[in-house]
Amino acid sequence: MSVNQAAMRRILREIANLKKNPPQGIRVQTSEENIYDVTGIIEGPEETPYAGGYFKVKFRFTEEFPASPPKCWFATKIFHPNVSSSGEICVNTLKKDWKSTYGIEHILVTVKCLLIYPNPESALDEEAGKLLLENYDSYCSRAKLITSVHATPRVRPVEFDTPSTSSSSSSPKESSSESVKTTSVSEPSGSATTTSTTPGSKPTSTSVKSLPATAPFTLPIVTTRKSVSPAPTTVAIPLISSPSNLSVEKESLVTINKDRHPSPSPLGTADSNVTPPSSTMKPAAGPKAVKRAATGTASTVAEKRKKALKRL
């Protein structure tokens, strides 16, 4: 086999990448004597008749690679509509749909998908294709039997000891999910203690102090009440020390006290303290009484003067 230098470097680079970061359920083998003797190993997908089996796919690169696809065939016997009894694979990727950008990994992933979704319309094994269309249970039983006899080794291939890319990327998430955190709160002090436990490490505890619980703070509500009592009325009373004037003064004071409205109750609202005007309220008689008192006093003084003149 003769391969140009560019194709050779590409094959070596892809083999090294597949061994370092293999896809899920796919591994690659190489021979120490011939590095171009490449063998792919496909693990039977779960929930298919091929689960539990390991199927080998051989590669042979030609001078036209990568312009044309390499020759590929199943080295492990398999009961599949798109695989002939000699191991030839019927898939469009290895025929008309081939692109020069495709490589070993793309071919192995395509073949693995073919195990999950067989295509009975382009069957190379007519018996398998017919059985798949007419009696799926019989097809599964036959495929499982062939898989258990020819594709199930006693020991798992050593190549699968290397974790795949998807499983290695999900391992940090799994390990982080195994970390258990326990939080305990002590009621008297209100402090919280968080304990984190990770497999393979000592548990660590973190104490967090919180402020003591206090009663909720409430703002006082201030209500402003307006006084509706009228201003005091001032009445001018003449300074005459006579019994009639004293009686008039007492009467006026009693009238003023009656006219005053009571102060609003501290527990009542402003509207309840408003006293509606009364239509039967009598006007104060203070000014009239004062005028009458003044007239009586003047007449008394005039009579005294007449008596004095008569005596003379």
Residues tagged active-site: 90
- Print the SS3 string covering 94-113: HCCCCCCCCCHHHHHHHHHH
Q: How many CB atoms lie within 10 A of CB 195?
A: 14
**Residue 200 backbone zone (phi > 0: left; psi -120 to 50: alpha; other: beta):** left
- The span from the CA of 78 to the CA of 177, in Å, is 40
CA–CA distances in Å: residue 37 to residues 16, 62, 108, 162: 14, 12, 15, 21
Q: How far apart are the first and last CA of the chain?
A: 178
